[in-house]
């Protein structure tokens, strides 16, 4: 395996408008960047998983609107640049990658990102590991926003992020890209 260039771990926080008791889970994320440019994102969901809707893994497949159900998200931007990339990953194996030229402005992009996704769910923990080939992320230094949408069994969506800059969930707000990789 290639040497590690950068490694960071964080716990995502539920958005303050949603009482923690309504979905008693914890989301931890680890991002590892390797010296060859490959990246691995690991999302661990623990707690009352019987309160969550977690679709079983089927196969890796491209899909849009994953945020309408349980999914994990990674936002990556080059420091001091208005553009950014959004990656969505679902426990089912669904994924999406978007290129934005500015806040919520989709750019034309021919870049195709096909991740390797593994997803495991047990009674105590759900783990999603995503591996991206070299070149899937922009060059460093990077600003990273990590987030998750967890669907409760009641159909209510719960929003988790490393930082919530607004009084409503908005993972595209660059003030939420609080993690740095030099």
Please tell me the pTM assigned to this model.
Answer: 0.93
Mean pLDDT in residue range 27-52: 94
How far is 178 from 174, CA to CA, in rounded Å? Answer: 8
Structure tokens at 161: 């992020």
Mean pLDDT in residue range 41-56: 95
**Residues 134-147: tens digit of each pLDDT:** 888 777 789 999 99
Q: Of the candidates 106, 75, 81, 100, which has an alpha carbon nearest to the alpha carbon of residue 12? A: 75
Domains (ranges, CATH) in the chain? 4-181 (2.60.40.1190)
How far is 108 from 69, CA to CA, in rounded Å? Answer: 26
Q: Of the candidates 78, 54, 19, which has an alpha carbon nearest to the alpha carbon of residue 148? A: 54
């Amino acid at each position: 395996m290639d040497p590690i260039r950068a490694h960071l771990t964080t716990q995502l926080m539920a958005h303050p408008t949603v009482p923690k008791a309504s979905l008693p889970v914890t989301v931890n994320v680890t991002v590892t960047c390797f010296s060859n440019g490959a990246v691995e994102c690991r999302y661990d969901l623990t707690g009352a998983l019987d309160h969550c809707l977690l679709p079983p893994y089927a196969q890796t497949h491209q899909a849009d609107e994953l945020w309408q159900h349980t999914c994990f998200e990674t936002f990556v931007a080059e420091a001091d640049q208005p553009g950014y990339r959004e990656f969505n990953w679902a426990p089912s194996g669904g994924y999406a990658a978007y290129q934005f030229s500015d806040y919520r402005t989709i750019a034309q992009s021919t870049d195709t990102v096909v991740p390797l996704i593994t997803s495991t769910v047990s009674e105590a923990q759900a783990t999603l590991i995503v591996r991206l080939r070299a070149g899937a992320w922009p060059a460093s230094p990077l600003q990273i926003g990590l987030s998750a949408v967890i669907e409760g069994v009641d159909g209510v969506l719960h929003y988790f992020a490393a930082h919530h800059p607004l009084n409503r969930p908005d993972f595209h707000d660059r003030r939420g890209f609080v993690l740095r990789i030099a």
